Amino acid sequence: MFTTLSDRLQETFKGLRGKGKLSEADIDTTAREIRLALLEADVALPVVKEFIGAVKERARGEEVSQALNPAQQIIKIVNEELVKILGGETRRLRFAKNPPTVIMLAGLQGAGKTTLAAKLALWLKDQGKSPMLVAADLQRPNAVNQLQVNGERAGVTVFAPEPGNGIGDPVAVSRQAIEEAKRTLHDVVIVDTAGRLGIDEELMRQASDIRDAVNPDEVLFVVDAMIGQDAVNTAQAFLDGVGYDGVVLTKLDGDARGGAALSIAQMTGKPVMFASAGEKLTDFDLFHPDRMASRILDMGDLLTLIEQAERTFDAEKAMKAAEKLSGKGGEFTLEDFLEQMQQVRKMGSLTKMLGMLPGAGQIRDQLENFDEREIDRIQAIIQSMTPFERQNPKAIDGSRRARIAKGAGRSVNDVNQLIERFFEARKMMESMARGGNPMMPGMPGVGKRSKSRQAPKAKKGKGARRSGNPAKAAAVQAARDEQQATAPGAAFGLGDQGVPDDFDPSQFPDLSKYLK
């Protein structure tokens, strides 16, 4: 049921490849598949219809009929359209000329406002602001308490003059809060309001009263990424009732595809500004439209993965490993492997990382059974080897294996398996690294191919220039193009490479076979 859109389209276009031209019927079939995929991702129906219209229009145009692979071209169009809607107006928070800047949070019950308030406060604090949290949720039992605890964790002042649990007037509290912030020189005030339903007139009036009382610079609508078709109703109700300037998507660390983001952005024209993904207060970031687009289409989240890798990986070591893989700096040894593994470890849960890979939705079941501690066991095996053995894995013979197994407390079979897999993996990595270009080729022809291939290469030559320049934007765009172009079937784009068939991480059906 949850096959990816790319797989579906690929199926649709089977037998069609090579013809090079799409008939009207083909486009209709394609449109149906896209419609299904979007509906399963919880994109609201009216938005789906509009969206399909736009895609159909473009699919009839030249760019598709001239492409060698219509399926990929259409996916590219879908992705572009998604990014266009999601990212049309991405912008930063507006800060008031005369502090305090007032940010008000509103949303349904259980959307995650109170947690988000603390996350936002911590985020602002890290940017050198001095935020103050205001407990204006006096409805839910102990919401005030929760905000206080969270505020304490974030190291942020919490203004909570009323005990909550139905006692106190949130409008008055909010009004006092502004005075308090001025007096205590806080430059940002975050007002956490009670959850309310869009159809609850009384509470909506209260929310607009709060808004009028504090005159916020930003009203943020907090919405759960899991929300279904009701997203449009709710978003509209809040827009009419309170009005808001931006949207925050929460619980993105779940496996909901988050079509609501698209629905809300399209229906209301308000940008999604932040994304909150995780239980920790630091799990909060700006919203990235391109990643959300990939997620809605279940194309994985390579960019986040790369970014995460960059954050944790030692750049120098990384370059060294990269050189080794491309055959310049000697062989990739078990020593390097161990180092890599420890770096990977630092990045967090392996399952989470695998989950970010394109198409991983299909192997989620297998991933669930994965024991993270296995990594320790493998580490134990490698550490039971002598430095000589680590440098020369080929020299590990039977008796050495027996010794290593004893030393690591594992069976010889485990050692065998590790060494065997290591060789296979090395072969794969090398063939990819030597593939001729850094992003790895193999994506079937797309019109812009040569251009997107060039960009990252050129970038390499320029070394470690900082972001913010157009070249970087181009590189990111190129990477994105690459990702889109290679997405169907070949996540890393090694479809046509001479890689052993059973060891191709991009062919996820293969991978799932491999993972059993």
Partner 1 sequence: MTATEIIVLVVAIAAIILVVGSIALVAGRKRVGPPTTPSVDSGAPDAALTPSPDQPLIVESSAPGASTTTLERPESIASRLVRLRQRLSGQGALGRGLLLLLSRDPLDEDTWEAVEDSLITADIGVGPTGELVEKLRERLRVEGGGADQAKAILAEELLALVDPGMDRSLNLVGPDGLPGVVMVVGVNGAGKTTSVGKLARVMVAEDKNVVLGAADTFRAAATEQLKTWGERVGVDVVAGPEGSDPASVAFDSVKEGLDRGADVVVVDTAGRLQNKQGLMDELGKVKRVIEKQAPLSEVLLVLDATTGQNGLIQARVFSEVVDVTGIVLTKLDGTAKGGIVVAVQRELGVPVKLVGLGEGPDDLAPFDPKTFVDAILSA
- What token pair was written down for 378? 């493998």
- 24 touches 239 (CB < 8 A): no
In whole angstroms, how close is the CB of 90 to partner 1 at the nearest point? 11
In whole angstroms, how close is the CB of 238 to partner 1 at the nearest point? 11
- 490 touches 506 (CB < 8 A): yes
Nearest to 389 by CA among 408, 407, 404, 405: 404
Q: Which is nearer to partner 1, 20 or 141 (CB)?
A: 141
Residue 136, strand partner residues: 193
Q: Among 132, 404, 459, 490, indicate the residue that binds partner 1 (CB under 8 A).
A: 459
- Binding residues for partner 1 restricted to 44-63, rule: CB under 8 A: 44-45
Q: Among 319, 395, 402, 473, indicate the residue that binds partner 1 (CB under 8 A).
A: 319
The dihedral over CA atoms of 431, 432, 434, 438, expressed in degrees to the nearest 10, equals 180
Q: Name the helix (H) or strand (E) containing 416.
A: helix 412-433
How far apart (Å, rounded) are the C-alpha atoms in residues 15 and 2?
23
- Binding residues for partner 1 restricted to 489-508, rule: CB under 8 A: 492, 505
Residue type for position 428: M
In whole angstroms, how close is the CB of 402 to partner 1 at the nearest point? 18
- 487 touches 106 (CB < 8 A): no
Q: Among 126, 201, 240, 496, indicate the residue that binds partner 1 (CB under 8 A).
A: 126
Stretch that binds partner 1, among 4-12, 73-81, 392-400, 438-446 (CB under 8 A): 438-446
In this structure, what are the phi and psi dihedrals at residue 247, rounded to the nearest 5 degrees?
-120, 145
Residue 458 makes contact with partner 1 by CB under 8 A: no
Nearest to 26 by CA among 9, 3, 40: 9
In whole angstroms, how close is the CB of 451 to partner 1 at the nearest point? 14
Q: Which is nearer to partner 1, 48 or 102 (CB)?
A: 48
In whole angstroms, how close is the CB of 179 to partner 1 at the nearest point? 26
Q: Could you give the string, one character per residue 158-197, with x where binding to partner 1 holds by CB under 8 A and - elsewhere?
A: -------x-------------------------------x
Residue type for position 61: G
Q: Could you give the string, one character per residue 196-215, with x where binding to partner 1 holds by CB under 8 A and - elsewhere?
A: -xxx----------------
Residue 335 makes contact with partner 1 by CB under 8 A: no
How far apart (Å, rounded) are the C-alpha atoms in residues 411 and 299?
38
351: exposed, middle or buried (Cβ count in 10 Å: 0-12, 13-18, 19+): middle
Those residues whose C-beta lies under 8 Å from the C-beta of residue 19, and which sit 6 or more positions away, are: none
DSSP state of 219: E
Q: Could you give the string, one character per residue 221-260, with x where binding to partner 1 holds by CB under 8 A and - elsewhere?
A: ---x-xxxxxx-xx--x-------------x-xxxxx-xx
In whole angstroms, how close is the CB of 98 to partner 1 at the nearest point? 26
**Total binding residues toward partner 1, as defined by CB under 8 A:** 135
Q: Extract the runs of DSSP E, i.e. beta strands, from 93-198.
A: 101-107, 131-136, 157-159, 188-193
Residue 383 makes contact with partner 1 by CB under 8 A: no
In whole angstroms, how close is the CB of 305 to partner 1 at the nearest point? 6
Q: Which is nearer to partner 1, 21 or 421 (CB)?
A: 421
Q: Could you give the string, one character per residue 268-307, with x where binding to partner 1 holds by CB under 8 A and - elsewhere?
A: -----------xxxx-xxx---------------x--xxx
Strand, helix or coil at 274? strand
In whole angstroms, how close is the CB of 296 to partner 1 at the nearest point? 12
Q: Among 88, 110, 387, 445, indicate the residue that binds partner 1 (CB under 8 A).
A: 110
Q: Among 30, 72, 73, 146, indicate the residue that binds partner 1 (CB under 8 A).
A: 146
Q: How much is the CA Rg of the chain, to the nearest whole Å? A: 26
In whole angstroms, how close is the CB of 261 to partner 1 at the nearest point? 12
Nearest to 423 by CA among 386, 377, 381, 392: 392
